[in-house]
Structure 1
Amino acid sequence: MTTALEGNGDRRHHLDSLLMRESLLDKEVQKSTEAPVIRMLPDTYVVKIGGRSILDKGRSATYPVRDALGTLLESKKLIIGTGGGARTRHVFSIGIDLGMPSGVLAELAQADALGNAHVLGALLAPYGVVAIPPEVFGHLLPLFIRSVPGVIFTGVPPYSLWEHPPAIGRIPPHGSDSGAFLLAECFGCQSVTLVKDVKGLYDQDPNINKDANFISEISTEEVRKADFATLPFERVLLDLLDYSRQISQVQIVNGLDPDNIIAAVNGEHVGTIVHR
């Protein structure tokens, strides 16, 4: 519905709506848009499989993870994300040496993650899982998830040339961890599980210091205050958790023991839970 403004001969037509003639940058206008958000796929579970931590390790690590996912697919609808792993790190090294900006590096990372999506998709094909091309993934996800037990996507979000500038260096801040989270947040999925090759978060790198202490649960504020030298997930995930509307936590689990994946998706606490 449109209305014509009266007075001063102003005959312009405006939409009669909440944000009619308002600046979308006004803080009060922004506050007025707070409202419940629908959960489009509340019965689905997002599981992100690490490229370097799982797929790059080959058959010994990947096949047991495939079997665990197959077990879950018997009763759960899974949306499975993949990272690029070693190939992404290699192409980053070349791109940085050549002076490529973060946006170009992000596009390259997307391509590597897509390769791993097809690899995992082939392994899970007997279970009826399909790898969906990035171009149609968001639009057709509800259709596919109602037609098959699970789908696979490139966990790297498609910011590509529009990737946000990182605070330090040139490595794109949004990788497959944040991409999996953003997908779950948008579609209102049940949970997000990040599958790595460590149990979760430690106060020090457990690969360097065997006396590192495991942290089973921690808030985003506590992570920032602790200022850990390294994290088993992308730091930008802390900001995403703080501002999310539907997903309030993620769990990091050790996929080298694939039973952890099954337990985490079933709601058990077997790794590190990071919450806002």
Structure 2
Amino acid sequence: MTTMTTAELRGYQQICGPDGAMMVIAADQRGGMRKIMAAQPSEEAAITETMLGETKADLTRHLASQASCILLDPICAVPGIVDGGVLARDTALLVGLDASGFDTTPEGYRLSKLVPGVDARRVRELGGTGGKIMVYLRADHAKANQDNIDILRRCIADFAKEDMLLVVEFLTYELPGESRDDYQARFPTLIEDGTRICLELGSKVLKLPYPGSAAACAKVTELCGSVPWAVLSAGVDHETFLGQVDTAMANGASGVIAGRALWKDCISLDRAVTQDRLTRIAVPRLRQIQGIVAKHRAAARPHAA
């Protein structure tokens, strides 16, 4: 099983809280964030990168300062949030490498994209504690994955060369003509097999969709061995996510990387509204998640970190 170097382990410790569990606020979205903030398409198109950067600054100052780490993009968030003194000295920073959106093959397979010019060395220049890469995988269709596997292989090798922490994330998706019921039935296996692909490529920290059940979480944990994995929120509502976090942590997850479940109904084109809602709504939600994580960390054996 792949183990972290001393430098990678130090980075991992920094994205974790005092209890050794990951508690990362995900705010690297661009297109999805625009859709949430806009009431209609014309408003969405008018949201500039500067405006998104201001919203991410609010998320950093009013929410991520209460967690151990924030995940941001290198398009409109960093280096400005570092250079402007918005990021607290005790809040770690993951920098997202993946570009917004994806291309699609004639068969309906999703092709992941990277932000041009952003590699491990650039992440370090931006003040990052580490990087995060997301690709799409359909583990049951080998032809769907080759380009995305190549991206993962290159990124993992690049971060290993620079001895920097890299968090690897994958998402899976429905294929054209596939029914929702068939996809849901396959979902736990798609997560398990996608996890296996990432591990075989040398991933050392994983960010994964909720696998679907306690048994599925336990399978992922067994497969990962000493490799820690965090559950992502995937935009579900907060109450649903609390249950998922509870189940995932009870079955071996090493923490949480949460985005929209915390802040999707808090951000607005009116920054005063955003700041109020983040303080009044998102922070108490974060405290609930932290409470669940702390409960399970106290009951579990100490992690390698």
TM over 0.5: no
Higher helix share goes to which structure?
Answer: 2
- TM class by shorter chain equals 0.3 to 0.5
Q: TM-score, with normalisation over the residues of structure 2?
A: 0.32
Q: TM-score, with normalisation over the residues of structure 1?
A: 0.34
User: Computing the radius of gyration over CA atoms, which structure comes out larger, 1 or 2?
Assistant: 1
